[in-house]
Amino acid sequence: MLSRLLAHGDFLNLSRFSPDAVKPQTLQLENGVHVHIIAPGIVAFCPQTLNLKSKYIVLSSGVHGNETAPIEICDDLVKRLFTGSLVPAHAVLFQFGNLDAMAIAKRFTEENMNRLFCGAHSAGEGRVNDERIRAKQLEDTMAAFFADAGDNAEKLHYDLHTAIRESKNEKFAVYPFLHGKPYSREQLSFMKACGVKTILLSESATTTYSYHSSLNHGAHSFTVELGKVQPFGQNDMARFEEARNTLTSLVCEPHLSLDDDLSDMVIYRVNQVINKQADDFELYFADDTPNFMDFKQGDKLASETGAKYFAEQDGEAVVFPNANVVIGQRAILTVVPASLEYINV
């Protein structure tokens, strides 16, 4: 395994197709970089020396197994770090989330992993499936990684995804609920550098991975949607060039120079979180309606036994609509425009 990793950096393929060969170990590359192989799909790289300005970066991808573009971006970074063509300036942890779902080209095998963080993996019936077990493992390895950072180091977590459906705004990010803490202008500038110019401000606690890292580790965190789901090998990687280049610079450069002009950013805040409560939940718009399609006040969005749901104001838009979620999970998120003044950066 080791010779294959050092020659080709083929960590993801080994993790997917020969997971029993991926054993926990620590090694040092010829360039002095320390590599910590933690588990299949989980590996960290640390430069020879870290200082007070060093960042601790977590890049997670594949929490949904069919969201392939971010997986391919991170796979390429890992290969180049293993082979020495890239040298990290900061500590970076890569987590390829749902290896089993990747194998069957599905979002998940039994349960949506991005609803299983903040301890949700152990709630109710407990860790009864692979997604719940893996979510706990991701949390634990993140906690151990950030524990090495100390109190003053900058901690970053970008949970990288692609969306099920088309979007009027192709790339967007969800900024998790900060419980009154200010939003970061620098982080918004970083999103812009990644080609992500639409930001959704969450206004409630969730069980997503980015909310977990923000709440429990004080990390600057985002759920980043980089485009639309495609099979492995069928992504037009030119569409992800800004994100790929900016993430590479983040890992390898001591400091990033970012454009702090946010005038072209589009900001939304969450207005309604509509959870499915009955089997007959039905959307009142076409299945191919893109994310960020806006509605007029009073337009009917969905219905189910005992409830009807309407747009509450003009310009209210839908994001992540999915009538096929299990009862109790979010079926529609609605958002409304917000200003930079609103977000207090």
Question: What are the catalytic residues?
Answer: 225
Residue 185 burial (CB count, 10 A)? 15
The token duo for 199 is 């930001």
Placement of tokens 């590359």 in the chain: 29
Whose CA is closest to 174, among 197, 194, 201? Answer: 201
Residues 6+ apart with CB under 8 A from 51: none
- d(CA 184, CA 221) in angstroms, rounded, equals 10
Whose CA is closest to 247, among 102, 113, 49, 69? Answer: 69
**Whole-number Cα distances in Å, 263 to 78, 294, 325, 338, 339:** 34, 22, 36, 13, 10
Q: Which residues of 72-104 are buried (b: 16+ CB within 10 A; e: fewer)?
A: bbbbbbbbbbbeeebbbbbbbbbbbbbbbbbee
- d(CA 186, CA 260) in angstroms, rounded, equals 7
Q: Residue 64, annotated ligand binder?
A: yes
Q: Residue 90, annotated ligand binder?
A: no
Residue 65 burial (CB count, 10 A)? 23
* Residue list, annotated binding site for Zn(2+): 64, 67, 161
